[in-house]
Amino acid sequence: MILSATDQMKLNSFWQYCLQHQYFNISYPESADFDYSQLERFLRFSINNCGDWSEPGNYLLNTFAFEREVMSHFAGLYRIAVQDSWGYVTNGGTEGNMFACYLARELFPNGTLYYSRDSHYSVMKIARLLKMRSQVVASLPSGEIDCNDLLQRIAANRGSAPIIFANIGTTLRGAVDDIADIRQRLALAGFARDDYYLHADAALSGMILPFVGSPQPHTFADGIDSISVSGHKMIGSPIPCGIVLARRRHVERISVEVDYIAARDRTISGSRNGHSPLILWAGLRSRTHEQWCRRVQHCLHMAEYAVSRLRQAGIAAWRHANSVTVVFPRPSEPLVQAFGLAASGHEAHLIAMPHHREPAAFDPLFDALIADRREQLQPIQVYAV
């Protein structure tokens, strides 16, 4: 590749920019402590995982063998037998959620998708793309789905099968919808297990809950039908990616035979980036289960430190159990802009990630928040005219 001197300077300038801002994401859940230099040599190849990784195809440069191991690993994490599950490496959480909604729609063509106000913004987009009936359900003040409102809406649409989009860690508050309560209420309302579909959007918490002592229900053993998890969050990746995993009997309904690749395709995107399975495989294989537990506990301890420090300063910070998301009142707009905070309404948050090694990583934000609060609490100065 030959670039002009001007173009080289542009790349060099962007390189310096990336070095300067690689740890900016105090409010976004991307791990930045990865090193995949061992995989750089594979960037010279056009690796395409088109079709189903569980079957041979005629495109030879693929990473199916690695993808198979990745999906087997996640089947173990989310407590479903490999032979009873199928999923694949996606471009991120939105694709995983779309795949699950697509499965549910094929299973229940006249079903209604229910999702809470705290669900990721992409759910509304997915419902429109798939032309699914959908209803927005109220959320509790802490961010969980309001099960009373959910069941009332389901009862009002009794002729339409419920397709429930459950959050396992909401984007803004880290709230986990109570899957056990949802299932119990559906049973009391007369729904058999095969009368509804339950998807778990576990973009961030999907790589937290398997490594804590008392996780909230989130696995196939707890009654879910599918789960979507991001790979560039707790695992860490230079490329946005993720996985979706579902019950195999549901996936069989959407398989398509493709003659020119000599394989079946069950995915949303067809041709898929073959480098992401390599990245996830290396990220998963580089740590033992015990090391993953320590990694998660470090983030939880950092989050608890953040809550404690802010509360000591009189700032009403809080977090959910097993959550690395710390919620606090929205500060002034200049501070939001200065720290790139994710803010919505009257709230903002920080997210404790593995690359936040020491409490000092948060101190500049804390100092600014405390000063900002003091300034906002100052009495209004009235001048005589």
Q: Which residue numbers are catalytic? A: 323
Cα–Cα distance, 222 to 217 (Å, whole number): 6
Helix (H, G, I), strand (E, B) or coil at 241: coil
Residue 333: CB partners within 8 Å, gap ≥ 6?
Answer: none
184 forms bridges with which residues in the sheet?
none
Closest CA to 99 of 279, 246, 206, 313: 246
Cα–Cα distance, 116 to 136 (Å, whole number): 5
Q: What is the dihedral of CA 26, 216, 97, 157, to 10 degrees?
A: -130
**Burial profile 83-117: b = 16 or more Cβ within 10 angstroms, e = fewer:** eebbbbbbbbbbbbbbbbbbbbbebbeebbbbbbe
- Gyration radius from the chain CA atoms: 23
Q: What is the dihedral of CA 370, 375, 379, 381, to 10 degrees?
A: 170
Helices and strands, number each (H, E), in the chain: 11, 12
Cα–Cα distance, 245 to 365 (Å, whole number): 37
Q: What is the side-by-side strand order in the sheet with 342-344?
A: 325-329, 347-351, 342-344
- Are 264 and 257 in contact, with CB atoms under 8 Å apart? yes
Two structure tokens written together for 2? 């030959």
Residue 232: C-alpha distances to residues 23, 26, 200, 246 (Å): 14, 15, 18, 20
Residue type, 292: W
